[in-house]
Amino acid sequence: MKKWCAFLCGGLILGLLQGLLAPKYTGLTQEGGLIREYYQNAGGNDVIFIGDCEVYENFSPITLWQEYGITSYIRGSPQQTIWQSYYLMEETFRYETPKVMVFNVLSMKYDSPESTGSQSRREAYNRMTLDGMRWSSCKWKAVNASLTREERRWGGALTYLFPLLRYHDRWSELTAEDVRYLFHFQPVSHCGYLMRTGVEPMTEALISAPMTDAELGQTSWEYLDKMVRLCREHGTQLVLVKSPGLYPVWWWEWDRQVTEYAREQELLYVNMLPAQEEIGIDWMTDTYDGGLHLNVSGAEKASAWFGKILQEQCGLPDHRREETVSALWEARCRAYEAAKAEGR
Amino acid sequence: MTVQSPWFPLFTAALLVIYYRVPGQWQWRVLLTGSGCFYLWAGKAYLGFLLLTLVSTYLAARQMGDGQGREDRKKRRPWLILCLTVNASALMLCKSCLLPGAKELLAGSRVEFLTLGLPLGISFYTLQTMGYLIDVYRGTVEPERNFGKFSLFAAWFPQLIQGPVSGFSQLGPQLTAAHPYDGQRLSFGAQRVLWGYFKKLVIADRLAPAVTALRQEQTVGGGFLVLTILYAVQLYGDFTGGVDIALGVSECFGIRLPENFRQPFFAKNTAQYWRRWHMTLGTWMKTYVFYPVSVSAPVRRLSRWARARLGGFGKRVGVYLATGVTWLATGVWHGLTPNFLVWGMLNCLVIVLSQELTPLYRRFHSRFGWKDKPWYGVFEGIRMFLLMNLIRACDLYADPREYFHRLLSLFSVPLWRQPVPALGLTGADWGILALGIGAMLLVSLLQQRAGSLRQLLWRGNPWLRYGLTFLLLVAVLLFGRYGVGYEGTNFIYSQF
């Protein structure tokens, strides 16, 4: 009995230590906490957006609600890769079956964890996507697909199941925030949308790295195939989108391949880049980082434009007359407007 | 999978569960499968070397122990020589691939991978199987007829990385015997494993950047002295930590491996030091090199000749020659670069000089009477510590000239003239190191005085035992240098 009590106490203390040492993503890198927020909002969404920063910064579910009565949520995270998107999609189906799944195709340019940049940078992005996922077989598969060589050498997937093994040395960097948010989780997004209210105009042309490979990689296509199959199994319409953004460049060769694929698979593919004028995006006022991503004004314009397509081509219903749903979304809208007014 | 990887404890735990679930007669098969899996997981690129040693030693031992070889020692000899040559050659080949220039020479060839590091555990399993083969030759051990049981003895996974080196008569029967579950033994084993991880990950690996920085700075004088001290602590934490993990894991399975250390830094003279540091290698060298050389016909003839012509010193010439050969072999076992030969010869020189100067010491002590004073004991300990540190620093410089240059700088450059360069450690690192080294020293002192600490704790309040074990676990988890973002350091002795 004593032994079991000791084990229990030990487990509890280790759990507390793990909670204390894990990053809280409440400061400058708020996007690291986005994936975790979904579980409190799962269910009742007609549309789920999945992808990288081009979804969680460029689309606003609140605008989709206000303009069209579409209920949606964004499962986005920084530099989310296609294999992560796939497993997030698989996980999402465990919580709800949306009518439409929107996938941002920019991440198809990466074909392996190594192709996304330096190992340490990739690892940091992996963490921001995977640490927030709940324990499940989906997480396990997502982790194993995402590990960098360096991570595989040092414990690999285990460090995602027990983040203490990764963050054990944060004891020297702990701040008051780590204690404050130990038992209390602070949501930072509006249905997965990370609001950016600042303006930093695009003043000079962003120079992209030259295209190294005109063909999108095999791994990307395999995961896209899996996405198509998964969505069909659940009776969900998969929509491919290329969200507005000047950088990184979405080369026309890639666009041609995705267009061709969408045609073959009878998928809706919306490339928003050529429609930027129609959308009304002004890169002097609608970006917060010189043209890489949209700010709230740009995101609202993009969402209003894209929502029309979703409504018309996917036949999504308007929920604004449904009392319960409306009450929930009106509360969300108030929080959104207040945040916008405060500029946070 | 490395021993430092979080998979290793999980792998061991899974193996333990299976081990205590199967009937006793099946347990050794679980261990063999586990050892095989570990090797495949950790070093499958080098599997050929392990198989060569296993098959050749098994067959040679069978040839020597069965049939005509059993009766006639002369018929056994060719098998012994052949097998020893094959295995020693394989070891030497691998070690020679690590010599400077080998990388360029072998670039693009099929054996280029050998320039990356030694095959996993080759130095240790070669030594262990050679010992077994000589025992079979001498007739002190019956050859193992079951290839699986023999393979388990040669490649028992916890001791594969850096020993200890075990004898077949001591380890073989334990590995194949049935071991019922014993909670106390399991708990003792786990505590020892944790203590090993503490020494390796919290102390040795935290010190590693400082040792590397000092080496790269080409430091001389005082900096070199600091380097020798830090390297001594790093090597002690690393090597004893690794061996503690091996002994602890084995203990969990009910297998008792021989101890490899007994508070070596408390030794007061060289002979004592070598009876406390890497004891199993010392025993192996004594049994299979020193004694055979001492009693060999040429050495006996030389001894007789020297005794007749050189008097008292002549009596000891044979022993000194055997000592020299033993240290040469020990040096070669550590590596083929000249520094290891110098290291072996320096150790030999100190032992011989100590022996020759014994009458002088006796006269000195009878005159001053300091021998029994407590402070003199401390002085002897510090003297020994510093002396062995200076010799051990040979490990750090492949070119002996570099080593001697630094050694001489201790006398030519005033110690305080050479400022110690930045060591790459933060204040928190030093704090942890101070606490960790303090804990290590305290444990050593308590072990020296009271014997097994685990036994003491077991007899005391269980909550104290649980608390201390948990504290150790937390210290390893929090303060250990491991995982992504750290330059992982392999066990130092896995390179020898």
Q: Does A159 touch chain B (CB under 8 A)?
A: yes
Name the residue with higher pLDDT: A74 or B492: A74
CB within 8 Å: A13 and B474: yes
pLDDT digits (tens, 9 = 90+) for A4-55: 888 899 899 999 999 999 888 877 788 888 999 999 999 899 999 999 999 9
Segment (H or E) for B334: helix B297-334
- A13: chain B residues, CB-CB within 8 Å: 470, 474
pLDDT digits (tens, 9 = 90+) for B164-199: 999 999 999 999 999 999 999 999 999 999 999 999
| pLDDT score, position B474 | 95
Q: For A2, which of B462, B474, B484 is closest by C-beta distance?
A: B462
Tokens of B61: 């031992």
Name the residue with higher pLDDT: A275 or B70: A275
B155 by DSSP, 3-state: which?
coil
Q: Does B463 touch chain A (CB under 8 A)?
A: yes
Q: Does B10 touch chain A (CB under 8 A)?
A: yes
Q: For B480, which of A13, A17, A168 is closest by C-beta distance?
A: A168
Q: For A151, which of B462, B477, B484 is closest by C-beta distance?
A: B484
Q: Give the list of residues 6+ apart from residue B152 with CB closer than 8 angstroms, or none.
A: B28, B31, B32, B35, B175, B176
| pLDDT score, position B74 | 79
Give CA angle at A147 (A58, A52), nearest 5°.
5
- The answer on pLDDT for A206 being more than 70 is no
Q: Which of A82, A85, A79 is nearest to A54 (CA)?
A: A79
- Cβ–Cβ under 8 Å, residues A266 and A80: no
Q: Which of A241, A225, A223 is nearest to A87 (CA)?
A: A223
Name the residue with higher pLDDT: A139 or B423: A139
CB within 8 Å: A172 and B473: no
Q: HEC profile for chain A?
A: CHHHHHHHHHHHHHHHHHHHHCCCCCCCCHHHHHHHHHHHHCCCCCEEEEECHHHHCCCCHHHHHHHHCCCEEEEECCCCCHHHHHHHHHHHHHHCCCCEEEEEHHHHHCCCHHHHCCHHHHHHHHHHHHCCCCCCHHHHHHHHHHCCHHHHHCCCCHHHHCCHHHHHHHHHHCCHHHHHCCCCCCCCCECCECCCCCCCCCCCCCCCCCCCCCCCCHHHHHHHHHHHHHHHHCCCEEEEEECCCCCCCCCHHHHHHHHHHHHHHCCEEEECCCCHHHHCCCCCCCECCCCCCECHHHHHHHHHHHHHHHHHHHCCCCCCCCHHHHHHHHHHHHHHHHHHHHCC
B257 by DSSP, 3-state: which?
coil
Least Cα separation, residue A132 to chain B (angstroms): 19
Residues in chain B: 496
**Cis ω for the linkage preceding B421 (within 30 of 0):** no
| pLDDT score, position A211 | 66
Return the residue in A165, A170, A171, A174 with the most chain B beta carbons within 10 A, the one to mutate for interface testing: A165
The residue behind tokens 């490339």 is A271
- Cβ–Cβ under 8 Å, residues A190 and A61: yes
Q: Does A150 touch chain B (CB under 8 A)?
A: yes
Q: Does B425 touch chain A (CB under 8 A)?
A: no
Q: What is the CA radius of gyration of chain B?
A: 24
Distance CA A147, CA B441 (A): 40
| pLDDT score, position B489 | 58
pLDDT digits (tens, 9 = 90+) for B103-155: 777 766 666 666 666 777 888 999 999 999 999 998 899 999 999 999 999 99
pLDDT digits (tens, 9 = 90+) for A313-328: 998 999 999 989 999 9
Distances (CA, A) of B74 to B83, B138, B459: 15, 11, 55
- The answer on pLDDT for B44 being more than 80 is no
- The answer on pLDDT for B325 being more than 60 is yes
Q: Where are the domains of chain A?
A: 32-342
Q: For B428, which of A159, A168, A172 is closest by C-beta distance?
A: A172
- A6: chain B residues, CB-CB within 8 Å: 462-463, 466, 470
Tokens of A134: 């709940």
Give CA angle at A199 (A50, A339), nearest 5°.
65
CA nearest to B461 within chain A: A2
Q: Which of B92, B95, B91, B97 is nearest to B112 (CA)?
A: B97
Q: Where are the domains of chain B?
A: 7-179
Per-chain mean pLDDT for chain B: 88
Q: Which of B196, B181, B190, B192 is nearest to B254 (CA)?
A: B181
Q: Does B474 touch chain A (CB under 8 A)?
A: yes
Q: Does A17 touch chain B (CB under 8 A)?
A: yes
| pLDDT score, position B43 | 73
- The answer on pLDDT for B102 being more than 90 is no
| pLDDT score, position A303 | 95
- Cβ–Cβ under 8 Å, residues A194 and A188: yes
Tokens of A334: 């108030």
pLDDT digits (tens, 9 = 90+) for A67-104: 999 999 999 999 999 999 999 999 999 999 999 999 99
ipTM of predicted complex: 0.79
Average pLDDT, stretch A212-216?
79
In CATH, the number for domain A32-342 is: 3.40.50.1110
Q: Give backbone dihedrals phi and psi of A271, rounded to 5 degrees, phi first.
A: -95, 110
Least Cα separation, residue B478 to chain A (angstroms): 5
Per-chain mean pLDDT for chain A: 90
CA nearest to A148 within chain B: B484
B73 by DSSP, 3-state: which?
helix
Asked whether the CA dihedral B61, B67, B70, B74 is positive or negative, the reply is: negative
Q: What is the band of B490 on the pLDDT scale with cuts at 50, 70, 90? A: low
Q: What is the band of A210 on the pLDDT scale with cuts at 50, 70, 90? A: low
CB within 8 Å: B462 and A120: no
- Cβ–Cβ under 8 Å, residues B52 and B125: no
CB within 8 Å: A171 and B478: yes
Q: Give the list of residues 6+ apart from residue B225 with CB closer than 8 angstroms, or none.
A: B410, B415
Q: What is the band of A268 on the pLDDT scale with cuts at 50, 70, 90? A: very high
Q: Does A10 touch chain B (CB under 8 A)?
A: yes
Return the residue in B5, B426, B484 with the most chain A beta carbons within 10 A, the one to mutate for interface testing: B484
- B482: chain A residues, CB-CB within 8 Å: 154-155, 165, 168
- Cβ–Cβ under 8 Å, residues A53 and A31: yes
Distances (CA, A) of B389 to A69, B44, B233, B384: 77, 36, 10, 8
Q: Which of A125, A76, A122 is nearest to A103 (CA)?
A: A76
B362 by DSSP, 3-state: which?
helix
Amino acid, single-letter form, for residue B139: G
CB within 8 Å: A2 and B428: no
CB within 8 Å: A159 and B7: no
Q: Does B458 touch chain A (CB under 8 A)?
A: no
CB within 8 Å: A10 and B473: yes
Q: Does A163 touch chain B (CB under 8 A)?
A: no
Least Cα separation, residue B376 to chain A (angstroms): 42
B373 by DSSP, 3-state: which?
coil
- B483: chain A residues, CB-CB within 8 Å: 154-155, 159, 165-166, 168-169
Give CA angle at B476 (B421, A124), nearest 5°.
75
Q: Does A123 touch chain B (CB under 8 A)?
A: yes
Return the residue in A149, A152, A172 with the most chain B beta carbons within 10 A, the one to mutate for interface testing: A172
Least Cα separation, residue B145 to chain A (angstroms): 38
pLDDT digits (tens, 9 = 90+) for A152-194: 877 788 889 899 998 998 888 888 888 888 888 888 899 999 9
DSSP assignment string, B122-141 = HHHHHHHHHHHHHHHHHTSS
Q: Does A325 touch chain B (CB under 8 A)?
A: no
Least Cα separation, residue A8 to chain B (angstroms): 12
B55 by DSSP, 3-state: which?
helix
| pLDDT score, position A330 | 94
CB within 8 Å: B7 and A155: yes
- Cβ–Cβ under 8 Å, residues A230 and A224: no
Tokens of A84: 């992560």
The DSSP secondary-structure symbol of B396 reads G
CB-side neighbour CA atoms (13 Å) of A328? 15
Q: Does A171 touch chain B (CB under 8 A)?
A: yes
Q: Does A120 touch chain B (CB under 8 A)?
A: yes
Q: How many CB pairs under 8 A join A and B?
A: 66
Q: Does B7 touch chain A (CB under 8 A)?
A: yes
- Cβ–Cβ under 8 Å, residues A33 and A26: yes
